[in-house]
Structure 1
Amino acid sequence: MGNVLQEIIKEMVRKGEIRTIKDIKELTKSLTGNLIQEVLEAELEDELGYGKYDREKKNTENSRNGYRKKNLKSSSGMIELKVPRDRKGEYEPKIVPKY
């Protein structure tokens, strides 16, 4: 994964998308938010035992039930997340605690 990320960064620098420390902070904030969002989605998928649109593998009465917003304070600034919810309210995010 490191090499792929390096190539993406080189391309962004070449295109002039990263020029200042502020640009780096914005990129860091965006990457952090996207990474946490993907982990939250994977956690809920693991909890429910099936993928987002994979109803054939659904073997539970519990299901997804939208999202709630959560602001996360980081060294790069506030990151707005959409924390997935389950219908029964049993899902407790591990990477970002509920409260």
Structure 2
Amino acid sequence: MKKEDLLNSDFLKQFKSGKELESFLSQLHKRGIEQMLEGELDDHLGYDKHAKSDQSNARNGYGCKTIRTDFGETRIDVPRDREGSFEPVIVPKRKSMAEGVESLVVSLYAKGMSNADIEEQLLEMYDFRLSTSAISRITSRVTEDITAWQNRPLEEVYLIV
């Protein structure tokens, strides 16, 4: 089956509104993230789900986590291992938002928007509230890096200017 055949016009006709399509894409995104997390755990443990293994570490159910994505807030099931050594890369531990949202916050901040304006924009566009303190924490991390880069020592001679 060709890639184009996956989204033929008959399939797309089932969506009667933008909200229905957005809901479908959100569910698809959620399932995709969860499947990638399962794949990461398979790689971490060294065997596929339901396969036999002689290792002491094994799957240990799921933890529930709410993350912020480009589709709004999404509740995902994150697989766990018995030893607690699984460190997901797709959605890292102690992170509640996908990289796309953080990038958007930084981009809006770089364009001169205030934290309150960014909060309002996220609520309008993605239907979730990110507190001004969270926005401030995100932008302060970037500001520190920018300041460090601006204050770095310069070379005396550059080949190309």
Superposition TM-score tier, normalisation by shorter sequence: 0.7 to 0.9
Distance in 2, Cα, partners of 1:13 & 1:76: 19
Map of 2:65 onto structure 1: 70
Distance in 2, Cα, partners of 1:31 & 1:46: 23
Map of 2:6 onto structure 1: 5
Which residue of the other structure, out of 50, 60, 64, is the alignment partner of 2:55? Answer: 60
Q: Which runs of 4+ in 1 moved over 3 A?
A: none
Summarize the alignment of residues 11-22 of structure 1 with structure 2, pairs less than 5 Å apart.
Answer: 11-14=10-13, 17-22=14-19
Contact kept in structure 2, 1:49 and 1:59, CA below 8 Å: no
Q: Gaps spanning 5+ residues in structure 2: where?
A: 95-161
The structure that is strand-richer by fraction is 1
Q: Greater relative contact order: 1 or 2 (C-alpha under 8 angstroms, separation 6 or more)?
A: 1
TM-score, with length taken from structure 1? 0.84
Count of residue pairs the alignment pairs up: 93
Map of 1:96 onto structure 2: 91
Q: Gaps spanning 5+ residues in structure 1: where?
A: none
Contact kept in structure 2, 1:70 and 1:80, CA below 8 Å: yes
The structure that is helix-richer by fraction is 2
Map of 2:48 onto structure 1: 51
Distance of aligned partners of 1:31 and 1:64 in 2 relative to their CA distance in 1, 3 Å threshold? same
